[in-house]
């Protein structure tokens, strides 16, 4: 059997194929910028789903806000350990940043139980109590996104960028629509599609782009 065995070559060939398909099937499609293209194509690469050309939305200033947060050494807060695991820690460390997930934190479990809320909501509360610049990365929990929107609505001084792509049927589409209509700098996936793998892929696309631009 004859097949490609080198990971980098597999990835490079995948992106060539993605580009060829977009040009063939969507000849009039135009990416807003080079970074928009990298993010959307990496979401497609992660899922083999070309709907990302249409469902991934960006607020006007979100890419600049995310880059500024990374340059400021922001902490990324994810709603799942899967998203945390998928983010490239080496690239993140180049910017003096780290990533955390509080969902399994003992304090979060206690608060969630006492208040009758999800652990994802309690994890957002704990994250918002931490010092320093923040970037939220949600791929699974609509309640986490709703909670962040509530907090930032009550105190606009706490507004921070968010990658919001929760997947699912209960609250997922609604939470992302609320994000798209909010003043938060955001990358949001409209509809039901999303996932922790997509959330991590979006972060990695940005990190790879910034690293290449700096080298």
Structural domain includes residue 206: yes
Q: What is the pLDDT of residues 134-165, one digit of tens each?
A: 999 999 999 999 999 999 999 999 999 999 99
Question: Tell me, what's the pLDDT at 159?
Answer: 97
Q: What is the pLDDT of residues 172-212, one digit of tens each?
A: 999 999 999 999 999 999 999 999 999 999 999 999 999 88
For residue 82 the two structure tokens come to 């899967």
Determine contact, residues 49/192, Cβ cutoff 8 Å. Answer: no
Question: Tell me, what's the pLDDT at 6?
Answer: 79
Q: What is the pLDDT of residues 40-70, one digit of tens each?
A: 999 999 999 999 999 999 999 999 999 999 9
Percent of the chain exceeding pLDDT 70 equals 99
Confidence of residue 11 (pLDDT cuts 50, 70, 90): confident
Structural domain includes residue 194: yes
- CA separation for the pair 18, 14 (Å, rounded): 6
Q: Which residues contact 52 (CB under 8 A, 6 or more apart)?
A: 40, 43, 44, 189, 193, 198
Structural domain includes residue 154: yes
Structural domain includes residue 120: yes
SS3 assignment, position 100: strand
Confidence of residue 215 (pLDDT cuts 50, 70, 90): low
The yes-or-no answer on residue 153 being catalytic is: no
Whether 119 shows a pLDDT value over 80: the answer reads: yes
Structural domain includes residue 202: yes
SS3 assignment, position 76: strand
Structural domain includes residue 2: no
| Catalytic residue (one of 45, 153, 186, 209) | 45
Question: Tell me, what's the pLDDT at 140?
Answer: 97
Percent of the chain exceeding pLDDT 90 equals 92
**What range defines the domain where residue 122 resides?**
7-214
Question: Tell me, what's the pLDDT at 115?
Answer: 95
Alpha helices of the chain — where are they, by DSSP H? 7-25, 34-47, 52-55, 62-71, 81-86, 89-93, 106-115, 119-128, 142-154, 172-180, 196-214
Counted domains in the chain: 1
Which residue in 94, 66, 50 sits closest to 206, CA to CA? Answer: 66
- CA separation for the pair 93, 108 (Å, rounded): 26
Place of tokens 């460390």: 93
Q: Which residues contact 1 (CB under 8 A, 6 or more apart)?
A: none
Domain with residue 39: its CATH number is 3.40.50.10230
Structural domain includes residue 122: yes
Structural domain includes residue 75: yes
């Amino acid at each position: 059997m004859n097949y490609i065995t080198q990971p980098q070559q597999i990835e490079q060939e995948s992106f060539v194929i993605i580009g060829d398909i977009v040009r063939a099937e969507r000849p009039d499609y135009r990416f807003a910028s080079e970074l928009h293209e990298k993010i959307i194509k990496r979401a497609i690469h992660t899922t083999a789903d070309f709907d990302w050309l249409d469902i991934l939305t960006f607020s006007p200033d979100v890419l600049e806000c995310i880059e500024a947060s990374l340059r400021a050494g922001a902490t990324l807060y994810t709603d799942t350990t899967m998203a945390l695991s998928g983010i490239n820690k080496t690239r993140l460390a180049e910017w003096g940043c780290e990533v955390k997930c509080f969902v399994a934190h003992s304090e979060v479990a206690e608060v969630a139980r006492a208040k009758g809320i999800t652990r994802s909501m309690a994890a957002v509360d704990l994250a918002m109590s931490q010092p320093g610049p923040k970037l939220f990365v949600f791929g699974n929990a609509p309640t986490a996104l709703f909670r962040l929107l509530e907090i930032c609505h009550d105190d606009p001084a706490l507004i921070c960028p968010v990658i919001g792509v929760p997947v699912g049927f209960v609250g997922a589409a609604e939470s992302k629509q609320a994000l798209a209509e909010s003043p938060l700098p955001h990358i949001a996936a409209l509809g039901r599609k999303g996932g922790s793998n997509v959330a991590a892929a979006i972060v990695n696309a940005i990190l790879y782009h910034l690293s290449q631009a700096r080298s």
